[in-house]
């Protein structure tokens, strides 16, 4: 089954304690990205990656890092989380322009609370 | 700057009615307009999408109407059912984004279909 998986699904942490949210896709997609979802704001892109070792900032990258060492994995790293990073996070993958479909697939989400 | 404006924020419709959700965009470079459906605890899932070369697209009970000159598009759900109760997001993207398949989302509409 084609899917995007994220772990953990729920996380409560404290300010300043480094954490990583993992994301993996099994569709051999070149493009992956991270979004955060906040009430009244919709989803906003944090970082994206067009391929292995190619990453770039989205609209709200402050306080986040990413890496793309393998095509299937795209972890989101919060080196020093702060309460304003409390949010619902989604990983997404896309086959890239020129593919037969423009569908972007989303993971199930990670609800993060930073105290 | 909210590049995609969505309304209404919430909508309650009786079963069998036709909920309509509207979106307006600013960036004339947008060339792909998907609608995503999100159930509680799940990630957004593509429902239907349209490109600006057509004014309407229908898939099952879901129809997108697109008005390029007004920079507006809307989702209509025919014969709505309680199972359609979810949050709906409109979105837009452009090929002119240097390989970033970023989706710019509206703020979402929480739809409730009452029996």
Residue B100 binned pLDDT confidence (cut-offs 50, 70, 90): confident
Residue A110 binned pLDDT confidence (cut-offs 50, 70, 90): very high
Average pLDDT, stretch B18-38?
95
Instruction: Tell me if B102 sits within 8 A of B93, measured CB to CB.
Output: yes
Instruction: Tell me if B64 sits within 8 A of B33, measured CB to CB.
Output: yes
Give the tens place of pLDDT for each residue, B35-68: 999 999 999 999 999 999 999 999 999 999 999 9
- Chain A segment 51-90 residues within 8 A of B by beta carbon are 56, 58-59, 90
Residues 6 or more apart whose CB falls under 8 angstroms from that of A101 comprise A95
A109 touches chain B (CB under 8 A): yes
Average pLDDT, stretch B19-38?
95
* Rounded distance between C-alpha atoms, residue B10 and residue B21, angstroms: 9
- Residues above pLDDT 70, as percent of chain B: 97
Instruction: Give yes or no for residue A47 having a pLDDT over 70.
Output: yes
C-beta pairs of B10-13 under 8 Å, 24+ apart in sequence = B10/B109, B10/B110, B10/B111, B10/B112, B11/B109, B11/B110, B11/B111, B11/B112, B12/B111, B12/B112, B12/B113, B12/B114, B13/B80, B13/B111, B13/B112, B13/B113, B13/B114
Instruction: Give yes or no for residue A100 having a pLDDT over 70.
Output: no
Instruction: Tell me if A40 sits within 8 A of A28, measured CB to CB.
Output: no
Task: Indicate yes or no: CB of B100 within 8 angstroms of CB of A42.
Answer: no
**Min Cα separation A16/chain B (Å):** 27
Give the tens place of pLDDT for each residue, B81-93: 999 999 999 999 8
pLDDT at residue number B94: 85
Please list every residue in chain A whose beta carbon sits closer than 8 Å to the beta carbon of residue B6: 42
Q: In the numeric block, which tokens belong to residue A54?
A: 């190619």
Question: In degrees, to the nearest 5, what angle opens at C-alpha A39 toward C-alphas A26 and A64?
Answer: 55
pLDDT at residue number B99: 73
Instruction: Give yes or no for residue B1 having a pLDDT over 60.
Output: no
- Residues above pLDDT 90, as percent of chain B: 83
Task: Count contacts between A and B (CB, < 8 Å).
Answer: 63
**pLDDT, mean over chain B:** 93
pLDDT at residue number B95: 76
């Amino acid at each position: 089954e084609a899917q995007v998986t994220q772990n953990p699904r729920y996380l409560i942490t404290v300010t300043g304690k480094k954490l990583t949210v993992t994301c993996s896709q099994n569709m051999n997609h070149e493009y992956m990205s991270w979004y955060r979802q906040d009430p009244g704001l919709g989803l906003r892109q944090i970082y994206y990656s067009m391929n292995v070792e190619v990453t770039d900032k989205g609209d709200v990258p402050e306080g986040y890092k990413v890496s793309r060492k393998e095509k299937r994995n795209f972890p989101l790293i919060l080196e020093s989380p702060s309460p304003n990073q409390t949010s619902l996070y989604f990983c997404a993958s896309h086959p890239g322009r020129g593919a037969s479909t423009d569908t972007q697939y989303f993971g199930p989400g990670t609800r993060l609370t930073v105290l | 700057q909210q590049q995609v404006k969505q309304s209404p924020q919430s909508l309650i419709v009786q079963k069998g009615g036709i909920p309509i959700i509207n979106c307006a965009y600013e960036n004339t470079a947008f060339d792909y307009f998907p609608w995503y459906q999100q159930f509680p605890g799940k990630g957004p899932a593509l429902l239907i999408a349209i490109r600006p070369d057509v004014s309407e697209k229908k898939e099952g009970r879901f129809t997108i109407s697109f008005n390029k000159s007004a920079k507006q598009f809307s989702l209509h759900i025919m014969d709505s059912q309680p199972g359609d109760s979810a949050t709906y997001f409109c979105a837009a993207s452009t090929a002119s984004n240097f390989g970033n398949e970023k989706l710019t989302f509206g703020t979402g509409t929480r739809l409730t279909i009452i029996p």
